[in-house]
Homo-oligomer: A and B are copies of this chain.
Amino acid sequence: MQQKQRAAWRERLYVIIFEADTRAGQWFDICLLVAILLSVGAVSIETVEGLTQQQQDLLNAIEWGFTILFTIEYVLRLLSVRRPLNYAFSFYGIVDLISVLPTYFTPISGSRSFAVVRSFRLLRVFRIMKLIHLTSESEELARAVWSARSKIIVFLTVVLITVTISGTAMYEIERIASPADTGLPIETQFTSIPQSIYWAIVTMTTVGYGDIVPQTTPGKFVSALLILVGYSLIIVPTGFVSAEFVDLKKAAKTSNQTCPYCMAEGHLRDAEYCRKCGKPLESNESLGAT
């Protein structure tokens, strides 16, 4: 009997913490979202120089407050699930744990470290997406990217080989060629091949920081070629992801039902009669509704 009561209590906690269908569950998710954003904001602002001691103490207190809250939440999650170990070793279980751990280590290791680890708690925002019914959207996006994954691997391989070869080429060209305008030897910014590959990535993706630039005429020429290749290459993955989305959209529009009389396919989702022979279609939906 008491066992059953505890189960009911655990069931209710589970619905609030893990689901977003009830009003309590929605409020829980909204509060959690706000808490995550505020705590990440506090960690960020803490690193800005020129804060007074008072401001630092406040931010420190906020960080500790949220950490204790997240710890309580983590314990409640462990209590409410049927198999705590399954949760603890799931992706979100690990994210939840490393959201709180770094703060407890700060007294030992110094106040500013682990900022990266703390920022991982932002990954928990994805879990809250179910709140605003964006799960299906995320899944559709993920599916399109996933079904284009082989092409993306091929594409990235082409990009990486291109940047390595052209980076190496630029390293040699800039060392050998004399500078374009002055005729005097200049100090090249292409100091090593890894540096030149970094330049090639920055250039080919059109980021173009300008911290490393070619200074010789042959270097500028090769650079212009690489830029034009990069400019042309970006259109390829865009094209195939577009095609994936067009395909997904079309699949979502036509039903996969077959006319039982003439075997015609490709009917619109809300069609009630076969567009080929005019006989009634027995829609899955109407069957399900009966």
Taking Cβ atoms with an 8 Å cutoff, the residues of A that contact B are: 40, 43-50, 113, 115-116, 118-120, 122-123, 125-126, 129, 134, 137-138, 140-141, 144-145, 150-157, 159, 161, 164-165, 168-169, 171-172, 180-181, 183, 191-195, 197-198, 201-203, 205-211, 213, 217, 220-221, 223-224, 227-228, 230-232, 234-249, 253, 258, 263-280, 283, 285-286, 289
Min CB–CB distance A121 → chain B (angstroms): 10
Q: Are A44 and B241 in contact (CB under 8 A)?
A: no
Q: Which residues of B contact A278 (CB under 8 A)?
A: 272-274, 278-280
Question: Are A249 and B243 CB-contacts (below 8 A) given A205-B227, A272-B276?
Answer: yes
CB neighbours (8 Å) of A228 from chain B are 156, 159, 201, 205
Contacting pair A192 B49 (CB below 8 A): yes
Task: State the Cβ distance, A60 to closest chain B Cβ, in Å.
Answer: 15
- Tell whether, in the assembled complex, residue A242 and residue B246 are in contact, meaning their CB atoms are under 8 Å apart: yes
A269 touches B273 (CB 8 A): no
Write the nearest CB–CB distance from A3 to chain B, whole angstroms: 41
Docked-complex contact A237 and B232, CB < 8 angstroms = yes
Point out the residues of chain B lying under 8 angstroms from A141, CB to CB: 151, 154-155, 236, 240
State how many angstroms separate the Cβ of A254 from the closest Cβ of chain B. 9
17 residue pairs from A and B, CB less than 8 Å apart: A43-B193, A116-B172, A118-B168, A122-B165, A123-B165, A141-B155, A141-B240, A152-B232, A198-B220, A205-B227, A207-B230, A209-B209, A209-B210, A242-B246, A268-B275, A278-B278, A278-B280
Check A151 against B140 for contact (C-beta < 8 Å).
Answer: yes
Instruction: Establish whether residues B280 and A270, one from each chain, have CB atoms under 8 Å apart when the complex forms.
Output: no
Task: Name the one of B211, B236, B248, B269 contacting A213, with C-beta atoms under 8 angstroms.
Answer: B211
Partner of A44, one of B197, B244, B273: B197
A171 to B193, CA, bound (A): 25
Q: In the complex, A240 Cα to B246 Cα: how many Å?
A: 8
A171-B115 in contact given A198-B220, A236-B141 (Cβ < 8 Å): yes
Tell me whether A153 and B134 are in contact (CB under 8 A): yes
The CB with the most chain B CB atoms within 10 A, among A43, A129, A270, A285, is that of A270
**Contact indicator A273/B263 (Cβ below 8 Å):** no
Chain B residues contacting A151 (CB-CB under 8 Å) are 137, 140-141
6 nearest interchain CB pairs? A243-B245, A273-B278, A239-B241, A207-B208, A271-B275, A209-B210
A134 near B156 with CB under 8 A, answer: no
A267 lies within 8 A of B273 (CB) = no
Partner of A134, one of B125, B150, B192: B150
